[in-house]
Amino acid sequence: GGLRYSKTWLENASSPSAAAKAIKAAGYATDKNYASKLINHITSYNLTKYDPVYSGTNYTAKVAKSGATYLYPTDHSVSPKKSYVTAGQTVTVTKTYTYYNGKKRMYLKGLGWINGEDLNTGSSQAPSAHTSATVSGQMKILMHSAAIYTSTGAKSSAKSVKAGKSMMTYGLVTINGAKYYRVNSASADQFIKASNFDGSPRKLKHNAYLYNSKGKRVGKSKWLKGSSHTVYGGSVKIKHKQYYIVGLNQYVKKGNF
């Protein structure tokens, strides 16, 4: 089945965690914790930095060379063809994925996906980065439940977001000395503290066990004193004890850091 893993494809998976769960659902892995282990790997090694950056900016461009357009933004050797464009034709770009190696795939309105090098996107057509039309974002997993703030650093009336949610983030800003991501492309005034997404490395002062959100110990393995781990956001209280979040549903006692 060529489509067995279709839920993991870029255009069908809202986030790395959705793709990991889809692999599991497709029956790839026998380990029932496969999805959560994969998600932890993605977050602890910051593998999301290899994710394509999505932009929803619309502009017109001219086709540089004639050829097919494709149904998906994936590798064109595995994607069915959708349509055809001719050199010199004017097209409207509505979506762009920029990959970590600099390559781009663009979606042409009504036509399908094309490789960036097949388009002329000279400075005359592409909008400048400063126009309000530019909306490029990066998908991140929120690791720690978080309040939404305004651009002045005040708590917004919007309701808090729970940990585990995949969100598009739009650029890092500093407000009152703390780093935030803008989280709503439409409203410039919604920000979440960056440490809830990216975390910061801390060294263990003592050997430490992992706990779940109920304060129950997970497994027998322990993290060793002196090892460094990513800690997300501020400490949280579980059954009168303070813990740091170190992964999705993974906690370490605050006193160990």
Residue 209 has pLDDT above 90, yes or no: yes
Point out the least confidently predicted range of 4-18, 48-62, 71-85.
Answer: 4-18
Note the pLDDT tens digit of each residue in 172-206.
888 888 999 988 766 668 899 999 999 899 999 99
Q: What b-and-e string marks burial along 69-93, b requiring 16 or more CB atoms within 10 Å of the CB? A: bbebbeebeebeebeebeeeeebeb
Residue 45 has pLDDT above 70, yes or no: no
Structural element, H or E, at residue 18: helix 16-25
Per the CB < 8 A criterion, the answer to whether 23 and 8 are in contact is: yes
This prediction's pTM: 0.48
Structure confidence at residue 108 (pLDDT): 92
As a CATH number, domain 57-120 is 2.30.30.170
Domain ranges of the chain: 6-50, 57-120, 139-198, 200-256
- The residue with tokens 């974002």 is 137
CA distance 113 to 178: 39
pLDDT-derived band at 54, boundaries 50, 70, 90: confident
Quote the percentage of the chain above a pLDDT of 90: 29
Return the top range by mean pLDDT from 120-124, 145-149, 216-220: 145-149
CA 191 to chain centre: 16
According to DSSP, the residues that pair with 161 across neighbouring strands are 146
Note the pLDDT tens digit of each residue in 84-141.
888 888 889 998 888 777 788 889 998 889 888 888 765 333 333 333 334 567 888 8
